[in-house]
Chains A and B, each alone.
Chain A
């Protein structure tokens, strides 16, 4: 039977040689992410920025984007962001947070609704007031911080410190690049984006754990070969699995991007990026750290110390 394989068996590729390329490359990407985050910033959706979102479908023909945009000036609501999607008869209108607290949002919603109701079917309305959006920012930040702490704790218990440090660096790298992805694409950043980030943290850790587990196993088995060789052996061993899993996950995500509807498209795109980045970092970022940290020496010392204690 014909079998389809992306990674050949008995592969012996020297991944560690590439660290001289991958490290500067990742460093540039990371710096770029931070710079973009600080300059361009994230395109915060109404969950975090507050405001009002209408999703409308024109009752006849195409949505008249210009006139929808004009509502902002006509009704002095500030800027109205209009985006068409679907066949062109669907659009979203986003109105910024109105000055004057929660009551002012409701007044604005009511006024806009009355104007557009004639020509459009209103399919979705979301209004987030200033206090609730503030709280969502809090809980979103808390979520990311908590997940990072949980990762640290988990790694602390699970691995000797050089391995743990390597895993932390890889996870942070992925987190940073995901934020950079949101900054460069200007995809709307909402509470579902936080869900995407936390899932990517989990996914990234998942990839890292698979590689590190194997490195630890091989390290115990072969005492004489160099760290770089150990890592290359391990990565080649888990490579077919890494590629397989990433492919199936990417296939599922592709289905979501193309067929899942516009509401979760930004979530799916971010997840795809996350899968790619965590695959890359588990191979090129996580493992070389072990060489720089002299993991081998540290762990042998630890093992020796343990043996001494056992003797005493």
Chain B
């Protein structure tokens, strides 16, 4: 066992040096690091440790699609589709109106002939799409007809999930645009489960603004304010943002936010109030021109998320395809609104279900605390090993240093996130990593006391302790793996550091220590055990 081939020695030393090299960039400041990173090829692993949000500060926000809102849109769309079909097929035997109850919309078509005509089309509305496997998905809307002509259309679970999934996909696009507009670096936006979006924005100072921007649906509509003597069923009574009370606004939408191609914050030329200037696309511009020229003198309402921002009077027909939204905004509100309008509306309302924000001050404090704890732990363990085992303790300490370097190198190569619990995990491994050395050394001492020759005791110590080391490390590995799959964020960081620590222990505490002892034995040719 103590014949250590040169190539083996060389490769162990090379590995340790490599680990040290990989962690060097992490000691550079951001200003020195960035230019170097840009000037060297991408494949060179010149990277810094990725710090978790709890260390660099930032916001972690989990958004969830509001299922009720999804259902409301789905039912609304279905009703519009049914109306269209009935119109197209000239159905006159619709008795009564449309009733909505939970996931079901129902209406009565008394003539059997009419029903026969429209039913295939109604079924087509919710027909299952063909999935990737080539079979047909179950329908998203179930259609049931009673004998007395009552048609019930119910949104199925499949329909809800499908719609939710699509809403999340669209929402991710919109959120990305919105967050990018805040000018933050490297936000992480990803789907979570079926109905959630995780937004992580590192190093953000103003988390409040982020939340405002994420929490707004931003559905913009231009609608006419109803004339006096309106029919209540054609009108929504909407709240106003700039004054108390409600305003009757026609249900029919003139132009929608999706017809906007640009929106910029600006100032009103007359009273220098903050406003948002916008441009329509061609369709929106035409439509806006038509409606405004037909309604000169009447007020129209600019409606954002079912609240009237302002209701200016149409002075002349607006045919240029651009306009201005005023609403007694502050500068920041105008800025936010412009961002929201540019990015477009969220497909459904989204609720914040989890929020974790850490200010940059606390993050920095945590890094300092973690560093101090790591140094103190390192020094304590170093001294303890040295006083207990002398030369062999020194070997263990060298192995420990390489071990820590390897954990960091592993974190950097995997681009895994270092969190505060992750640092705790590393500090913990400082204490536990020497376990393998201790197991080996104690075994060597025992074998030597038992009457073996030195070389044979060393050999037996390593061989007999090895099984126990693998055993005891694999029990910790089980804990780390379970934590990795169940935890999120900080806890996952702990699992990664712990897992990496366990893997590198085997390399450093067993192979490296063995090499050092072998070389020492060849060099000193000792007859007594120094421990």
Chain A residues at the B interface, C-beta cutoff of 8 Å? 1-5, 9-10, 55, 57, 101-103, 105-106, 109, 113, 121-129, 131-132, 139-140, 142-143, 146-147, 150-151, 154, 158, 191-192, 194-195, 198-199, 201-203, 205-206, 209-210, 213, 237-238, 240-241, 244-245, 247-256, 258-261, 263-264, 267-268, 271
Contacts and interface: CB of A to CB of B under 8 A. Distances in A.
A127 B353 CA distance: 8
A106 B349 CA distance: 15
Nearest to B477: A202
A257 to B, nearest CB: 9
Nearest to B353: A129
B471 A209 contact: yes
A206 B438 contact: no
B361 A252 contact: no
A38 B354 CA distance: 29
B428 A251 contact: no
Contact of A192 (B421, B438, B474): B421
A4 B388 contact: yes
B427 A256 contact: yes
Contacts of A238: 442
B420 A261 contact: yes
Contact of B420 (A5, A199, A254, A264): A264
B214 to A, nearest CB: 11
A102 B353 contact: yes
Interface in B173-229: 207-208, 211, 215
B134 to A, nearest CB: 35
A124 B384 contact: no
11 contacts: A4-B388, A124-B357, A143-B486, A150-B478, A244-B388, A251-B380, A256-B427, A258-B376, A259-B376, A261-B366, A267-B421
A252 B428 contact: yes
Counting chain A CB atoms within 10 Å of each CB, which of B432, B446, B467 scores highest? B432
B482 A102 contact: no
A146 B373 contact: no
Contacts of A124: 356-359, 362
A244 B442 contact: yes
Contact of B479 (A2, A102, A199): A199
Contact of A271 (B359, B387, B428): B428
A202 B215 CA distance: 42
Contacts of A154: 474-475, 478
Contacts of A205: 472, 475
Given A248-B381, A249-B432, A261-B370, A147 B471 contact: no
B384 A247 contact: yes
Contacts of B385: 248
Interface residues of B, number: 74
Contacts of B439: 210, 241, 245
B152 interface: no
A241 B491 CA distance: 30
B365 interface: yes
A191 B307 CA distance: 40
A102 B431 contact: no
B346 interface: no
A109 B491 CA distance: 25
B353 A5 contact: no
Given A102-B351, A123-B361, A245 B471 contact: no
A192 B490 contact: yes
B483 interface: yes
Contacts of B365: 261
Given A143-B483, A248-B385, A55 B362 contact: yes
Given A132-B354, A206-B476, A255-B372, 19 more contacts: A1-B390, A3-B387, A3-B390, A125-B355, A126-B356, A126-B357, A128-B354, A132-B62, A147-B479, A191-B491, A194-B487, A199-B483, A202-B478, A240-B442, A248-B430, A251-B380, A259-B372, A260-B369, A260-B427
A205 to B, nearest CB: 4
A154 B438 CA distance: 24
B482 A147 contact: yes
A10 B434 CA distance: 23
B449 interface: yes
Which 6 residue pairs of A and B lie closest in terms of their CB atoms, listed nearest first? A252-B431, A261-B369, A202-B479, A249-B431, A255-B377, A255-B376
Contacts of B389: 3
A199 B438 CA distance: 20
Nearest to B423: A260
B300 interface: no
A252 B380 contact: yes
Nearest to B438: A244
Nearest to B60: A126
B475 A202 contact: yes
Contact of A260 (B353, B359, B424): B424
A142 to B, nearest CB: 6
A263 B435 contact: no
Contacts of A268: 424
A209 B468 contact: yes
